[in-house]
Amino acid sequence: MKRRNNKLGWSFTSPYLIFTAIFFLVPLVWSIWLSVTDWNMMSPEINFVGFDNFMKAFTSPAVQASFFVTYKFLIVFVPMALIISMVVAVLVNGLPKFKGLYLVAFFLPYLSSGVVTSLIVQGLLSYNSPLNVFLRGHFGWDIDWLGTPMSALMIISLMIAWKMSGYYALILISGLASINHEIYEAAAMDGSGRFRTFWKVTVPMLYPALFTVIVLAVGVSFGIFTEVYQLTGGGPNFATNTWQMEIFNQAFVNLNSGYASAISLIAATVTFASIGVIKKMLEKWGQRNGWT
């Protein structure tokens, strides 16, 4: 009987295991092999170069700059996404009716592709867009929204935060719904104001949902590519050149596939390490608030 259950369990999990092997393990092994060669995926000649690609990546100013840019996106995007999604969650949760309808409306941008969202923003910020025509005509402002390093980084971060806020708000609303209203009544009886109640009661009680949202947002910040590629191409002056853009440029523009693979492996290692550190920090914060 036990052997039959084992076979049944393996039969149910086999599609996922096969999918993982084909689309994760095989590409990972191939990427590791590619990273120690100088193959450009076009030439029939493949030379083994050992760890030269990794040493070159560690000492490359372009790669180092792309890593700093990626962390800039992390610092800007994660708070933006958290604040916007929290505001959406609190406002929708306070509605007397039609909560589901509003949630669907905020969730729709998440379902759209990054290319579509980027094209909308690109049209909105173009030189002859209604917004820029209005600003030039009424205030004399001629703003190059994506032409300066800081504004380009902020606009891309804000766009992605807006796109993801509906999904994150859905997670936060589920956390808000699980908070017992008697806790709020007890806080009100103690004379706690709205802001103090939110900061001292709601935020600590939302720890599981906040933990999930922050970790997901950190993962997104390390994978930003489509929006940067579509809007700025990594500019201006490489201010938005994330390591995903650097990997793409090395692999498909410069045809240094082995070098690009080495950068991707380093990026993956740094990503997992960074997420691990952030998770540890969040776990300590949760323990201070009574979560184990």
Q: Which domains does the chain have, with CATH numbers?
A: 61-289 (1.10.3720.10)
Name the band, by pLDDT with cuts 50, 70 and 90, for residue 111: confident
pLDDT at 94: 82
pTM, rounded to two decimals: 0.88
Tell me which of 72-81, 99-108, 223-232 is least confident. Answer: 99-108
pLDDT at 250: 93
Residue 28 has pLDDT above 90, yes or no: no
Residue 4 has pLDDT above 70, yes or no: no
Give the rounded percent of residues in the chain with a pLDDT score beyond 90.
50
Place of tokens 């590519």: 225
pLDDT at 2: 53
Cα-to-chain-centroid distance, residue 91 = 24
Stronger pLDDT, 219 or 8, i.e. the higher one: 219
Rg (CA), the chain: 24
Residue 292 has pLDDT above 80, yes or no: no
Give the rounded percent of residues in the chain with a pLDDT score beyond 70.
98
Tell me which of 30-34, 171-175, 193-197, 253-257 is least confident. Answer: 193-197
Q: Is there a contact between 263 and 63 (Cβ–Cβ < 8 Å)?
A: yes
pLDDT at 101: 84
Across residues 60-83, what is the average pLDDT? 94
Cα gap 79→82, rounded to integer Å: 5
Across residues 105-120, what is the average pLDDT? 88
pLDDT at 235: 87
Q: What is the pLDDT of residues 192-236, one digit of tens each?
A: 888 888 888 888 889 999 999 999 999 999 999 999 999 999 988
The chain-wide mean pLDDT, for the chain, equals 88
Q: What is the pLDDT of residues 238-247, one digit of tens each?
A: 999 999 999 9
Length of the chain: 292
Sign of CA dihedral 227, 127, 76, 252: positive
Q: Identify the helix (H) or strand (E) that includes residue 130.
A: helix 130-139
pLDDT at 5: 60
For residue 58, give every residue at least 6 positions away whose Cβ sits within 8 Å of its Cβ, in sequence order, or none. Answer: 266
Residue 1, burial from CB neighbour count under 10 angstroms (0-12, 13-18, 19+): exposed
Across residues 41-66, what is the average pLDDT? 90
pLDDT at 3: 60
Across residues 78-86, what is the average pLDDT? 95
pLDDT at 289: 74
Across residues 133-158, what is the average pLDDT? 91
